[in-house]
Amino acid sequence: MNAPRTSKKALVIGGGIAGPVTALALREAGIEAEVFEAYETSAEGIGGTFMIAPNGLGALAVVGLGAEVGVIGQPVGPMVIEDGRGGVLAEFAGLADLPRGRLMRRAELYQVLQRRLHEVGLEVRYGKRLVGVEEGADGITAHFADGTSATGDLLIGADGTGSTVRTLIDPAAPAAEYTGLLGVGGYSPYRLPGRAGRGETVHFANGARAFFGYWGLADGSGTAWFSNIPQPEQLTAEQARTVSPEDWLRRCRELHADDLPAREVLRVADAGTVETFPRLEIMPSVPHWYRGRMVLVGDSVHAPSNSSGQGVSLAVESAVELARCLRDLPDHSEAFAAYEALRRPRVEKIAADAERTNSQKSAGPVGRLLFRLVAPIMMRTFMSPEKMLRPVHGYRIDWERRVVPVGRAGQAGRTGRAA
């Protein structure tokens, strides 16, 4: 499946998820890659739970990871929208002709990626915090805080919402914006009744004072849960850690004291499993995705909020599309322009939709009541599964189709398809 090797070498900044997938996709495109991570050690074991949607699984299949990722975590079954009082506002399953998404720990995906990098001989170099670059006619040199440097033909910023590469491309680039919500999650031995307790259904409830999500664990041992707490001022990770897990759980119990089944799930929840995610952020539209030999991928340029359920999926899509563009367009400026044309409309539409969802989550009592009243109508019309899920979950990258420069043979952006 690998394309013939070219003389190109890419320096990939960021060793989380987008960076390794970018390196693997570049390898499929015949381009050498080297990955640099700012932290001194691997992030193995760190991070909460997220979903990889069908479109993300499709992108991972391009780099040979579809089967391996398709068996970790647990499948996403029907989704139920509830009113926080035990009542169901709407229920819908995924599209029957698409694979089911997967709920997994970040650490599970991270292990798969690190194993594949090792298998193909791609190494992540840790303790390499980027501090500057030098561009020349024939290449680009990255300088790191430890005094070392590396030279390649291209530099790809996969360094997250706090991206250094983004500010090197454009010192005036916008920073990530806080969503006004703080995430708290964990596990509870509470067993949901019936089908819900077998991990087949994911529930979302706009409670009286906070948003609550939960699902039964696949082994039937209990329930995974999370709460999106309205928090006007963003906390740093250090500030969040000054509050004990027991106190975070106590706060969740207070916020959901009038919500069912949140109240029961939280009543017996294990404080030892509680994790806090203070940096629930969204990237505003980034004016410049690339400059010279530098380009952005993943959360560094298009982080939708967690409400989209698409953060990881969009990141791996973009990694694959960037590699595809670099494979087919030898001039990196043309490749970067085609890549942006492919990705910008899609990611910004999904981000805008997620931002509206955040507004509903952080709404006051009147806003929550209004949502409960209009939700059944919404689900029967413009929020039906076909209309809401098909354009997002059904999107597939046509890896075999050749990319053309923007403006030729129609638009370069018309190379993805909805399944």
70-103 pLDDT, tens digit each:
999 999 888 888 888 888 887 777 778 888 899 9
Beta strands per DSSP E along 158-293: 177-178, 181-188, 202-206, 211-216, 223-230, 275-277, 281-282, 290-291
pTM over 0.85: yes
Tell me, what amino acid is at 66?
G
Identify the DSSP state of 404. -
Q: Is the CB of residue 49 less than 8 Å from the CB of residue 185?
A: yes
Alpha-carbon span 330 to 109, nearest angstrom: 32
Q: What are the average pLDDT values for consecutive 10-residue runs of the chain, which has 419 residues?
A: 67 96 97 96 73 95 94 88 84 82 91 94 95 95 98 97 97 94 95 73 90 91 93 90 96 96 97 91 95 97 84 96 97 97 95 68 50 51 66 93 82 52
User: In sequence order, what are the residues at sequence separation of 6 or more whose Cβ sits closer than 8 angstroms to the Cβ of residue 413?
Assistant: 338, 341, 342, 343, 345, 406
Could you please report the per-residue DSSP string of 286-334?
PS-SEETTEEE-THHHH---GGGS-HHHHHHHHHHHHHHHHHH-SSHHH
Cα R_g (the chain), whole angstroms:
22
Q: What is the enclosing helix (H) or strand (E) of 131? A: strand 130-135
Phi and psi (nearest 5°) for 122? -100, 125
Q: What is the pLDDT of residue 413?
A: 44
Residues whose CB falls within 8 Å of the CB of residue 110, separated by 6 or more in sequence, listed in order: 16, 17, 42, 43, 44, 47
Question: What pLDDT does 419 receive?
Answer: 56
Using CB atoms within 10 Å of the CB of residue 5, give its burial: 0 to 12 exposed, 13 to 18 middle, 19+ buried: exposed
Give the DSSP H/E element, type plus range, for residue 121: none
Tell me what pLDDT residue 345 has: 96
DSSP, collapsed to helix, strand or coil, labels residue 382 as coil
pLDDT reported for residue 141: 98
3-state SS class at 184: strand
pLDDT value at residue 1: 47
Contacts (Cβ under 8 Å, ≥6 apart) of 114: 20, 42, 44, 124
- For residue range 149-182, what is the model confidence (pLDDT) as tens digits? 999 999 999 999 999 999 999 999 999 999 888 9
Q: pLDDT at position 133, please? A: 98
Dmax (CA) for the chain in angstroms is: 65
Cα distance between residue 311 and residue 56, in whole Å = 9
The pair of structure tokens assigned to 157 is: 């910023």
Q: How far apart are CA 150 and CA 124, in angstroms?
A: 13
Residue 83: predicted pLDDT: 85
**Contact in structure between 114 and 124 (CB atoms under 8 Å):** yes
